Amino acid sequence: MTKIRLGYVAMSMELVNSSPSQTMTYANFKKIGDREAAIRKLERIAISNLENCLRLLKHNLWNEVEFFRLSSRLIPLAGHEDLSDWDYMKPLKPVLSEIKSFLEEHPMRIDFHPDHFVLLNSTKPEILKNSVQTLTMHARLLKGMGIPTQHRCVLHVGGAHKNKEKALEQFIYNWALVPKSIAKMVMLENDDTTFNIEDVLYLCEKIDIPFIFDLHHHLANNEGEIWGNHWERMVGTWAHSPLPMKMHISSPRNEEQFRAHAPYVDPEMFIQFLRTINGTVDLLDCMIEAKQKDKALEKLMRDLSKYDDVQVLSKGSFEIVEKGT
């Protein structure tokens, strides 16, 4: 049997005033006039974001959720070219230490999905440099929280540059330019418009990093592929990871907006998938990318508990069992 752990993304729909993504634009930063005062305000926002992350982690503990994706917008304007002299990590050390202590006592799987502007296959050196810089910020946050950095950041392949094969080779070329300490953080997922399972598996096997299967993206972009034909290869990319295999789950909003995420996850689509792969891995972590966040997780657990072959293990985990056992 395969144990399934469910997770959700970045923020709660149940906790009030708990956003970990409060921000300030550079235009508003400039309006303050006093640069030091503006930087102190950025630091207060970042500290508040991290304090809310700790609240979210405590919320997850109460709800037995062992898998969570942190917001990638914890530190506003980190890495901005006009703030290169700002040591944004220094004022964050106390709250990061609190999070570290909490996770040491209550281990959870924590990771990131950096924003779409992180492009490791860019043909422009400046974009590649900025992408590495952004990933470096994620690495520093993970280390500050005491989280091992290996396989903690999910990325898309990037742009197709009007030639998908060339774009894949550009990724491999650029990969040699990425510092090893940053490269070890990366996982790749299939996307909903360009790079399908076969494309991304090609890269993951070539550079030996884990593949993140996104079922919804596959349904939107598959070129006739059957995902089951590639499942063994997907599992194989996790052979050298210290973490269990993970994937993304969501449902289309509707037929007209098929690529958009629905508020909740269709339990029938999900259970059919799980029945197919049951027993192929011991543990599978499934990140819910639904608009209703933790409410979507709770509803999915309620929906799944109604199936005869679902054995609920906690508020956030379950197994598929043989009917009648």
Q: What would the pLDDT profile of 269-280 be if each residue is shown by its tens digit?
A: 999 999 999 999
Q: Could you tell me the pLDDT band of residue 160, with boundaries at 50, 70 and 90?
A: confident
Q: Are 255 and 228 spatial neighbours (Cβ–Cβ below 8 Å)?
A: no
Q: Which two tokens stand for residue 65?
A: 């959720």
pLDDT over 80 (residue 219): yes
Residue 28 lies in a domain: no
| 121-141 residue pLDDT tens | 999 999 999 999 999 999 999
What does the alpha-carbon distance between residue 324 and residue 235 come to, in Å, rounded to a whole number? 29
**pLDDT band for position 324 (cuts 50, 70, 90):** low
Look up tokens 């500050």; give the residue.
144
User: Residues 6 or more apart from 25 whose CB is under 8 A from it?
Assistant: none
**Per-residue confidence (pLDDT) for residue 39, from 0 to 100:** 96
Cα 120 from chain centre: 16
Q: Token pair for residue 217?
A: 């993206």
The total domain count for the chain is: 1
Q: Is the pLDDT of residue 267 over 90?
A: yes
> What 8-state DSSP symbol labels residue 61?
H
pLDDT of residue 268: 97
Domain assignment of residue 38, yes or no: no
For residue 162, pLDDT over 90 is answered with: no
Q: How far apart are the C-alpha atoms of 192 and 227, rounded to whole Å?
A: 14
Q: Mean pLDDT across the stretch 13-38?
A: 95
**157 contacts: CB under 8 Å, gap ≥ 6:** 121, 167, 168, 171, 188, 191, 194, 195, 199, 200, 203
The CATH number of whichever domain residue 310 belongs to comes to 3.20.20.150
241 within domain boundaries: yes
N-to-C CA span, the chain: 12
pTM of the shown model: 0.95
Q: Does a structural domain hold residue 239? A: yes
- If pLDDT is split at 50, 70 and 90, which confidence band does 210 have? very high
Beta strands 317-320 and 3-9 are: antiparallel
Q: Is the confidence at residue 161, as pLDDT, over 90?
A: no
The per-residue pLDDT of the chain, averaged, comes to 96
Banded pLDDT at 285 (limits 50, 70, 90): very high
Q: What dihedral do alpha carbons 286, 290, 293, 294 form, nearest 10°?
A: -50
Q: The tokens of 180 are what?
A: 């090893």
Whether 297 maps to a domain, the answer reads: yes
Closest listed residue to residue 131, CA positions, set 177, 76, 195: 177
Residue 43 falls inside a structural domain: no
Cα 54 from chain centre: 18
pLDDT more than 90, % of the chain: 95
- Residue 99 located in a structural domain: no
CB 153 within 8 A of CB 183: no
Q: What is the mean pLDDT of residues 255-267?
A: 95
pLDDT at 85 over 80: yes
Confidence of residue 33 (pLDDT cuts 50, 70, 90): confident
pLDDT at residue 79, rounded to an integer? 87
Domain-located, residue 34: no
Residue ranges making up the domain that contains 294: 3-14+62-70+105-320
CA distance 285 to 298: 16
pLDDT of residue 302: 98
Pair type for strands 245-249 and 211-214? parallel
